[in-house]
């Protein structure tokens, strides 16, 4: 049976007119048990996330109530997506935007915000709510100091949940024909799950309201047991808290699932592999919880959840195998030797290398592109040297030849042949003398090059395997 052609609309005069009315698609290649799993593609909003809805609502409310006036500055604490949405809406309306962001956020989000013209202030992600450097506390303080500053405070702003009561909820009801067995959402600020739950109850729906919460957030414990769950760190961005935001009405929630980072990331990568949908890390948490709910059902039901934002903002993290290995989020077989510290392996293409006959220009570009300060020099798969930034500087520090000729010199003219190597079966203590001499450890198995170990690799290994 042919699928219906997508509908098209006339050109819009503003991106703001395109916020909302996002499409919904069924996941047909994931194991959903007896149920249908419908994904509302909030990544299709013009700012790339579900937060476009609340930015439009909260700024409009501030204008109506006189809190935000021409020439004013929008100030907000955000994990990134609300900031992008506020910048999109705020700049379209002529406001300046200042954003306070925890330092664990992906670099794509931060670069995106700065490219849009937002004033981005990074703050610590390792401090609790109430600490002066916690991102909400810092944003509120800055808003008070800036003339014309308006602290949006998505965590206690009624226009947040109102946006979802007025738009997202009705859209879901219409798109499903009123057949919603469960709605799965997270709590970042709390507006999504609260606003939609209130709408569904207002139209007489008996849908279960399910919270998807990262392990390390305390909210699932509050929902399931009435007391905060164990607090810890997690890498998923945008959802989970160590407090209940004022915007969130947890009495509307029927059940919560705690989803580990590894499960969320595996789910979102499976979503891309099987369904072709590039989604962000929080979507992995939501969809993992939705899949758990679906597989528990004994009769067919319809479950709705979200692709909250696009995975293009997480390519350096969720979709980066080396980053996942550094975080201990991949399944690896440990051998009890120095190879356990090596997350970037040459046989897997994870190590950037250079050849002795490559130019210094080529070597420097590879260093810069991979954000490393040294390169192994391989010839026919055998390690023959190592080149670091200081070697290049030494060659360039001469007036005998032109700059062009300097960079055209071969790597063999600058590389270090006196290598500090360790055998893969040596103990961790063998690394310390090398690090004391400010060297990187070159690990060999006999004569075979296994990889490099830096101080950071050692610290990360000890941190993950305490």
Query: What mean pLDDT comes out for the span 386-393?
Result: 87
- pLDDT for 397 equals 63
Query: What mean pLDDT comes out for the span 17-29?
Result: 97
CB-side exposure of 254: number of CA atoms within 13 Å? 13
Judge whether 141 and 73 are in contact, CB under 8 Å: no
pLDDT in tens, 390-404: 888 887 666 556 767
CA dist., res. 67 & res. 428, Å (int): 59
pLDDT of 357 above 70:
yes
CA dist., res. 21 & res. 13, Å (int): 17
- pLDDT for 393 equals 85
**Opening angle at CA 156, ends 63 and 318, nearest 5:** 105
Report the b/e string of 324-338 with b at 16+ CB within 10 A: bbbbbbeeeeeeebb
pLDDT of 1 above 50:
no
Query: What mean pLDDT comes out for the span 327-341?
Result: 73
Alpha helices in 314-466 (DSSP H): 321-326, 360-370, 389-396, 403-408, 432-436, 455-464
Catalytic residue (one of 40, 51, 96, 301): 51
- pLDDT for 399 equals 58
Judged by average pLDDT, the poorest of 286-300, 413-427, 451-465 is 451-465
pLDDT of 424 above 90:
no
pLDDT in tens, 179-197: 999 999 999 999 999 999 9
- pLDDT for 445 equals 83
Catalytic residue (one of 49, 282, 283, 339): 282
CA dist., res. 179 & res. 197, Å (int): 14
Higher pLDDT, 56 or 426: 56
CA dist., res. 455 & res. 461, Å (int): 10
CA dist., res. 254 & res. 359, Å (int): 63
pLDDT of 2 above 60:
no
pLDDT of 14 above 60:
yes
Judge whether 86 and 74 are in contact, CB under 8 Å: yes
For the chain, the first-to-last Cα distance in angstroms comes to 57
CA dist., res. 75 & res. 97, Å (int): 6
SS3 content of the chain, % helix, strand, coil (to 5): 40, 20, 40
- pLDDT for 422 equals 87
Three-state SS for 20?
Answer: coil
pLDDT in tens, 103-148: 877 777 788 899 999 999 998 887 877 888 888 899 999 999 999 9
Query: What mean pLDDT comes out for the span 402-429?
Result: 84
- pLDDT for 164 equals 98
- pLDDT for 349 equals 63
Query: What mean pLDDT comes out for the span 310-329?
Result: 80
CA dist., res. 159 & res. 85, Å (int): 14
pLDDT in tens, 29-80: 999 999 999 999 999 999 999 999 999 999 999 999 999 999 999 999 987 7
Mean pLDDT of the chain: 89
Higher pLDDT, 316 or 17: 17
Q: Residue 51 catalytic?
A: yes
Q: Residue 282 catalytic?
A: yes
pLDDT of 407 above 80:
yes
- pLDDT for 466 equals 56
pLDDT of 99 above 90:
yes
- pLDDT for 371 equals 79
- pLDDT for 35 equals 98
Judge whether 440 and 452 are in contact, CB under 8 Å: yes
């Amino acid at each position: 049976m042919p699928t219906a052609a997508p509908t098209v609309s006339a050109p819009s005069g503003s991106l703001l007119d395109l916020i909302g009315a996002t499409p919904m698609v069924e996941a047909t290649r994931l194991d959903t048990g007896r149920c249908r799993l419908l994904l509302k593609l909030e990544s299709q909003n013009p700012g790339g996330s579900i937060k476009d809805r609340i930015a439009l609502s909260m700024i409009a409310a501030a204008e109506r109530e006189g809190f935000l006036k021409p020439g004013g500055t929008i100030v907000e604490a955000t994990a990134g997506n609300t900031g992008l949405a506020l910048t999109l809406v705020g700049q379209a309306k002529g406001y300046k935007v200042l954003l306070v962001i925890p330092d664990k956020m992906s670099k794509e989000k931060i670069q995106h915000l700065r490219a849009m013209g937002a004033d981005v202030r990074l703050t610590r992600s390792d401090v609790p709510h109430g600490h002066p450097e916690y991102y909400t506390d810092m944003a509120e303080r800055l808003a008070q100091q800036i003339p014309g500053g308006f602290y949006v405070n998505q965590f206690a702003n009624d226009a947040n949940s109102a946006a979802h009561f007025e738009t997202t909820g009705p859209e879901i009801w219409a798109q499903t024909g009123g057949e919603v067995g469960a709605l799965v959402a997270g709590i970042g600020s709390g507006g999504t799950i609260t606003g939609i739950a209130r709408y569904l109850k207002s139209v007489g729906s008996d849908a279960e309201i399910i919270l998807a919460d990262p392990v390390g957030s305390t909210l699932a414990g509050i929902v399931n047991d009435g007391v905060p769950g164990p607090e810890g760190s997690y890498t998923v961005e945008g959802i989970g808290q160590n407090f209940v935001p004022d915007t969130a009405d947890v009495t509307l929630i029927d059940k919560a699932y705690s989803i580990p980072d590894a499960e969320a990331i595996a789910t979102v990568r499976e979503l891309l592999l099987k369904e072709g949908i590039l989604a962000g890390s929080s979507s992995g948490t939501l969809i993992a919880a939705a899949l758990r709910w679906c597989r528990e059902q004994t009769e067919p039901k319809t479950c709705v959840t979200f692709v909250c934002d696009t995975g293009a903002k997480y390519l350096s993290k969720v979709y980066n195998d080396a980053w996942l290995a550094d975080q201990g989020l991949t399944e690896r077989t440990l051998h009890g030797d120095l190879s356990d510290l090596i997350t970037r392996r040459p046989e897997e293409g994870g190590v950037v290398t250079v050849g002795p006959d490559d130019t210094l220009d080529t070597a420097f570009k590879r260093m810069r592109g991979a954000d490393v300060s040294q390169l192994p020099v391989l010839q026919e798969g055998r390690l023959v040297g190592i080149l670091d930034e200081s070697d290049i500087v030494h060659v360039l520090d001469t007036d005998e030849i032109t700059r062009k000729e300097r960079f055209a010199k071969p790597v063999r003219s600058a590389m270090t042949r006196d290598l500090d190597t360790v055998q893969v079966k040596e103990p961790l203590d063998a690394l310390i003398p090398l690090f004391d001499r400010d060297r990187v450890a070159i690990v060999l198995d006999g004569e075979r090059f296994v990889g490099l170990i830096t101080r950071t690799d050692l610290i990360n290994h000890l941190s993950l395997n305490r």
